[in-house]
Homo-oligomer: A and B are copies of this chain.
Amino acid sequence: MSNSASDPTDLIDTTNLAQALEKFATDRNWSQFHSPKNLVMALTGEVGELSEIFQWMSEADSMKAGQNPATAQDVKDELADVLLYLVRLASVLNVDLNEAVTQKIKANEQKYPVANSLGVSTKYNKK
């Protein structure tokens, strides 16, 4: 985790959030529970809750779920929960998320060249 000022070319800056979560856990003496193994399970729980919002929804309705008053707050809350645990997990693992996504996007650009990938979802499915 860098403490330096954010670089405007960074893809993502999670510095303040990571610090807020560290303080939140330390204030409550919760760091003892935050092993990466435990946090991956907590992340799984939150992705499960996100999935429950969408499970019986058509794809078309899912496009509107962020604005639909019946689901908007739940969607926002569950996206937040997933993000909180993901950033906390990266912190305790000492992984720089900006570096990780920057590398990954470069790798994906080589793995899925535009010419071969145009509109072909099946490219996604094979590793």
Give A residues with C-beta under 8 Å from B. 6, 8-14, 16-17, 20-21, 24, 27-30, 32-33, 35-38, 40-60, 62-63, 65-67, 75-77, 79-84, 86-87, 89-90, 92-95, 97, 99-101, 103-105, 108-109, 112, 114, 117-119, 121-122, 124-125
Contact = CB atoms under 8 A, between A and B. Distances in A.
Given A76-B103, A79-B93, A53 B11 contact: no
16 contacts: A12-B17, A21-B105, A27-B114, A28-B117, A29-B118, A33-B56, A42-B51, A42-B124, A44-B51, A53-B125, A66-B94, A75-B93, A77-B100, A79-B86, A79-B93, A80-B100
A42 B125 CA distance: 10
Contacts of A50: 40, 43
A121 B45 CA distance: 15
A107 B30 CA distance: 17
Contact of A121 (B30, B37, B103): B30
Contact of A41 (B12, B16, B24, B40): B40
Contacts of A9: 16
Contacts of A118: 28-29
